Every structure is written in structure tokens, then in C-alpha cells.
Amino acid sequence: MTSHSPEVHSLQLSLWAGLLFTLAAAQVGCSRAASQQAVAPLELKSSSFSGDTIPRTFSSCDHQDGAPPELSWSAPPERTQSFALIVFDKDSPFGFKFTHWVLYDIPSDKRELPENTPKQEQLPDGSRQGKNDYDRIGYVGPCPPRGTHHYVFTLYALDTKLNLPSGASKKQVVKAMNGHVLASGELVGRFQH
């Protein structure tokens, strides 16, 4: 067995450490690439909107919470097991995207949500509603303090059911969706108060 000077031993350790670090970084890069699969587009639209404007009927300015608008979407990828919907105000004055609606475990064969979707924890079709940032179940329409705000409706096609209890937060839904999104579609509605 050959004995090496401390300098040579230190150099060998540094080389081994560098090699292990490089291998670990390559492994992380590969697993990230695998988890960031391409997401197919979904077309999301609303017959309730007037162009890209959300009519006052669907706001909470004159009606408690307002009525949810009609939404419809195109066929999702074959492996879709459920849908999730998140609606937020991207111009919220609170410094974060204020959540107006969280809906998940929407059955994969649905292609539409009717106007006035009931504000209950679980809908007859098994869909579950989460809590918005008003800490209430279901939809709360726009009524910003001033100016024009943009409300982003995003529908996700998922390869699983989330099976979260009713009343989950947007954060919990987003975490549960991680790695399961097959397709998504976005619709932006404007509302001026």
C-alpha cells in the first residue's frame, strides 16, 4: 500500500467530492426535466362575459358575493381524471394574488360549469369547493376598491383526483396538483368599479 503526502490525499478528496457533486447535480437536473413535462393547452371561455369584461351581475358590488359565471372548455388529454379551477385577482392591492374561487375534483367528463354554481362544500357531481381569500366556500365576485382589475380563471386537467377535503386553500390545492397537470387553460376577465 502506497502512502501519500497530506497534500495528495487532500487533492484526491477534493476530486472525489467534485465528482460526487457533479453526479448529484446531473441527477437533480434529470429529475427536474422529467417533472416539468409539457402541458397541453385547454380552451377556456365564458358566455357570461361581455367580450373580456365581467358584467356587474357576476360581481359582489350589488349582490352578496355575486353569481359565478358560466365557464366551458375544450376536451382535455385522454388521461385526465379530474379538473381544478382557481380564480384570482392579479391586480389586488393586498400585495398578493387575491383568490376568489377554488374548485377541484371536477369530474373528467364535464365540459362546463353553469352560471350560479351553488356555494356549497360539495356539489352533486362530486366536485369540491375550497376557501377563497375571504375565508368562505365558493365563488366571490369582483368588486375592487377602484380602477380596473384583471381576474384570472385557470382550469387545470389533472391525471388524478386530488381527494382533498372540502374547504382546502388555494395553496393546498396547488401543492396537491404538483406533478399532475396534463393541460391548462386561462381566461382573463376585466372588471372596473
Query: Could you read off the pLDDT of 70-84 as tens digits, one per residue?
Result: 999 999 999 999 999
**Three-class secondary structure of residue 161 per DSSP:** coil
CA distance 178 to 193: 35
Q: With cut-offs at 50, 70 and 90, classify the pLDDT of residue 24.
A: very low
> Is residue 52 within 8 Å of 189, Cβ to Cβ?
yes
Place of cell 380563471: 153
> What is the pTM for the complete model shown?
0.80
> Is residue 41 within 8 Å of 184, Cβ to Cβ?
yes
- Sequence-separated (6 or more) residues with CB below 8 Å from residue 168: 102, 104, 128, 130, 131, 162, 176
Region of residue 140 (phi > 0: left; psi between -120 and 50: alpha; otherwise: beta): beta
- Sheet-wide strand order for 112-113: 44-45, 71-73, 112-113
Q: With cut-offs at 50, 70 and 90, classify the pLDDT of residue 3.
A: low
DSSP 22: H
Place of cell 379551477: 85
DSSP 57: G
Q: With cut-offs at 50, 70 and 90, classify the pLDDT of residue 37.
A: low
Q: State residue 4's pLDDT score.
A: 54
Q: Which of 155, 191, 148 is nearest to 75 (CA)?
A: 155
DSSP 103: E
The answer to which of 18-27, 134-143, 147-156 has the lowest mean pLDDT is 18-27
- Tell me the pLDDT tens digit for each residue of 97-151: 999 999 999 999 999 999 999 999 999 999 999 999 999 999 999 999 889 999 9
CA distance 161 to 132: 20
Provide the pairing of β-strand 98-107 with 128-129: antiparallel
Q: State residue 178's pLDDT score.
A: 97
Q: Is the pLDDT of residue 156 over 50?
A: yes
Q: State residue 47's pLDDT score.
A: 97
Q: State residue 145's pLDDT score.
A: 86
